[in-house]
Structure 1
Amino acid sequence: MPLFNVYPLYDVTPVSGKGVYVYDDQGAEYLDLYGGHAVISIGHAHPKYVEAVSNQVSKLGFYSNAIQNPLQVKLADRLEKLSGCKDYQLFLCNSGAEANENALKLASFKTGKSRVVAFKNGFHGRTSAAVAATDNPNIIAPINAQQEVTILDLNDITGVKAELEKGDVCAVIVEFIQGVGGLDQGTSDFFEQVYALCKANNTMFIADEVQSGYVRSGKFFAFQHHNVTPDIISIAKGMGNGFPIGGILIHPEIEAKFGMLGTTFGGNHLACAAGLAVLNVIEEKQLMNNVINMSEYFIKIAQTIPQIKKIKGRGLMLGLEFDFEVGDLRKKLIYEHHIFTGGASNKKLLRILPPLTVRKEHINMFFEALIGVLANSEIVEAKV
């Protein structure tokens, strides 16, 4: 049976990983500066992560949410402590899309309204409401398009005010640092005004932290760079270091009711063990400090390279923008220099999303390779 052919694939077959490196089926080593869409937060095969997951699966990998699971409580307590989101409630699921789907559903339950406001170049997932709030018509099927969504320009506070004052908007959902869309950010003034407008118009303010959360921005959540308190915070990717896990943090003013949300696999024992291991390593290794220091180091070098026209993002969620499309550049980095990087809907942007454990020597390796590739006349001519 053939696989459903929906992914354009590089001709590389990783079979193992360690730290910031992966190794293919031929034994070749690759520097991973993309982490599978920012999923690898504490490094491939981190020993404490491997130990925690192995120990848990040897005892109990799964049972349903019909029973007590103390690991969920422990994960919620650790997350509250490290994130600073005091008194929020945690609902666990399996992915970022599912997290955003539940966030939007909960907002609709809470407000009794159905329309959503989202923003251009935003990406929130591929499930029904989440994909309708995503600014990409190519991945929105007719069944998704039935959702009531208004997409505005980022930083368009006049547009947000006009839409919210119509009285039918249940939620505003925003990435504080856009991922797939190309690392654009709203201003603090914009976010703070949106937050105030949501409060004034019985609208839930949803922070999509699926990619920007878990220390990647230099704070635990990217919204913490601004003076706002989201009603709902969606999380996933770096949460499990590769194990499928997601969730939403829910403001204490939102009351739970039996049956309001649910999931079969979400919050299973194995997922919680993975999630706890990630939080433990983040704290023990002081990875937030490493993110801040490595980001400063990376940006300082990037500023010396004239072909880089703009440096976007925060922390270790970074983008390098050129005046040419970067598809060939990425291929040369992976095939000639064995370095994984990422792309975006902005075809001129190279995305850098390494494990939070990345060091200066790895950044040096990247820039040495990048400078070498940029010296290639074929890449330079491609911009013309």
Structure 2
Amino acid sequence: MSLFNVYPLFDITPVKAKDVYVYDENGTQYLDLYGGHAVISIGHSHPTYVEKLQQQLANIGFYSNSIQNPLQQQLAEKLTAISGCKFYELFLCNSGAEANENAIKLASFHTQRHKVVAFKNAFHGRTSAAVAATDNPKIVAPINAQQAVEFVDFGDIEALTNILAKGDVCAVITEIIQGVGGLDEASTEFYKTVEKLCKQFGTLFIADEVQSGFGRTGDFFAFQKHEIEPDIISIAKGMGNGFPVGGILIHPKIKASFGLLGTTFGGNHLACTAALAVIETIQQEKLLDNVEEISTYFIDKVSQISGIKTIKGRGLMLGLEFDFPIAELRKELIYNHQIFTGSSKNPNLLRILPSLTVKKEHVDVFINALTKALELKKV
């Protein structure tokens, strides 16, 4: 049986990984500044993470949500403590797409409305409602297109107001910093106005923190910079450091009932253990402080490189925008300098999403490689 060929692949086969490095079958070392789409938050094969997962697996790895699982309550408590999101309730699932799917479904249940407002260049996942709220027609199948979604320019308050005033919108969903779309972030005034309009028109405000959450921006959640209080917060990616886990934080005004949401694998023993290990490591190693320090250092260094048009994003969710498509630059970095980076919907943007454990010496390696790659391009 062959694989269903939907992924364009680099000709590299990682077989081992440690902290910010991955190693292929030939023993070649690669500096990972992409973390598998921002998934690796505390470094590959972190010893605390490995030890706790091994111990949990030796006891019990899975049972359904029909029994007590104290690890779920522990995770909720630890998540409250590190994030400061008091009074929210936690529903656990398996991925970012699933988190956003459940967020939209819950908003529809709560408001008894059917329409969603999303923003242009958004990416919220590939499940039914989540992909309909993703601004990429290439990945929206006809069955998904039945969802009632209106797209608004990122930052366009007038258009948003006119749509919400019709009274049929269950949720406004937005990434605080657009990931796949190209690292754009609107103003604090915009997010505060969205929050106000949602309250005014009885609509729920969903903050998609799937990529930007769990410390990636230096704040635990990206929305916290803007001093807003979303009704639902979706989380995944860095939450499990590679183990499939996601969830939504739900404002207490939204009431639970038996059967309202459900999942077979969500919140299983191994998933909770992975997320708890991530939180413990972020706290013990003061990784939020490291994000701030390394981000400042990185931005200062790349600012000195001619040819970079714009530096976008914040924390360790960064994008370098050039005046040319970066596809060949990425190949040069990975094949000739052994450095993983990322791309986005913006063809000129190089994405940088390393583990939160990354150090200045790793940044220096990248700066040296990027400088050489750009000089080669001029030649």
Q: State the TM-score, normalizing by the size of structure 1.
A: 0.98
The corresponding residue for 1:269 is 269
Letter in 1 for 2:97: A
Shift of 1:254: 0.8
Q: Distance in 2 between matches of 1:52 and 1:114?
A: 42
The corresponding residue for 1:327 is 327
Letter in 2 for 1:363: V
Q: Equivalences for 1:151-230 in 2 at 5 Å?
A: 151-230=151-230
Residue 283 of structure 2 is aligned to residue 302 of structure 1: no
CA shift digits 1:229-258 (9 cap, x unpaired): 000000000000000000000001111000
CA shift digits 1:107-144 (9 cap, x unpaired): 00000101000001110000000000000000000000
Residue 357 of structure 2 is aligned to residue 360 of structure 1: no
Letter in 2 for 1:196: K
Q: Distance in 2 between matches of 1:312 and 1:323?
A: 14
Q: Secondary structure at the match of 1:138?
A: helix
The corresponding residue for 2:140 is 140
Q: Secondary structure at the match of 2:80?
A: helix
Letter in 1 for 2:300: K
Letter in 1 for 2:57: V
Q: Distance in 2 between matches of 1:363 and 1:219?
A: 21
Q: Distance in 1 between matches of 2:293 and 2:227?
A: 23
Q: Distance in 2 between matches of 1:194 and 1:159?
A: 11
Q: Equivalences for 1:1-384 in 2 at 5 Å?
A: 1-376=1-376, 379-380=377-378
Shift of 1:306: 1.4
Q: Distance in 1 between matches of 2:78 and 2:236?
A: 16
Q: Distance in 2 between matches of 1:202 and 1:340?
A: 44
Q: Distance in 1 between matches of 2:269 and 2:128?
A: 27
Shift of 1:80: 0.4
Letter in 1 for 2:90: L
Shift of 1:380: 3.9
Shift of 1:6: 0.2
Q: Distance in 2 between matches of 1:16 and 1:211?
A: 24
Structure 2 residue runs of 5 or longer lacking an equivalent are none
Q: Distance in 1 between matches of 2:330 and 2:78?
A: 38
CA shift digits 1:248-284 (9 cap, x unpaired): 0000111100000000000000101101000000000
CA shift digits 1:62-83 (9 cap, x unpaired): 0000000000000000000000
Give the share of equivalent positions with the same residue, in percent.
Answer: 65
Q: Distance in 1 between matches of 2:258 and 2:142?
A: 32
Q: Distance in 1 between matches of 2:301 and 2:337?
A: 19
Q: Secondary structure at the match of 2:288?
A: helix
Q: State the TM-score, normalizing by the size of structure 2.
A: 0.99
CA shift digits 1:263-316 (9 cap, x unpaired): 000000010110100000000001000000000000001111110000000100
CA shift digits 1:177-232 (9 cap, x unpaired): 00000000111111100100000011000000000000001100000010210000
Shift of 1:323: 0.1
Q: Distance in 2 between matches of 1:275 and 1:61?
A: 14
Q: Distance in 2 between matches of 1:330 and 1:10?
A: 10
Q: Distance in 1 between matches of 2:264 and 2:215?
A: 28
Q: Secondary structure at the match of 1:100?
A: helix
Q: Distance in 1 between matches of 2:302 and 2:75?
A: 37
Shift of 1:88: 0.4
Q: Distance in 1 between matches of 2:365 and 2:20?
A: 12
Q: Distance in 2 between matches of 1:34 and 1:240?
A: 16
Q: Distance in 1 between matches of 2:334 and 2:378?
A: 18
Q: Secondary structure at the match of 1:145?
A: helix
Q: Kindly report structure 1 stretches of 4+ aligned residues shifted beyond 4 Å.
A: none
Q: Distance in 2 between matches of 1:8 and 1:140?
A: 19
Structure 1 residue runs of 5 or longer lacking an equivalent are none
Q: Distance in 2 between matches of 1:25 and 1:203?
A: 51
Q: Distance in 2 between matches of 1:297 and 1:161?
A: 40
Q: Distance in 2 between matches of 1:205 and 1:369?
A: 42
Q: Distance in 1 between matches of 2:218 and 2:317?
A: 9
Q: Secondary structure at the match of 1:375?
A: helix
Letter in 2 for 1:136: N
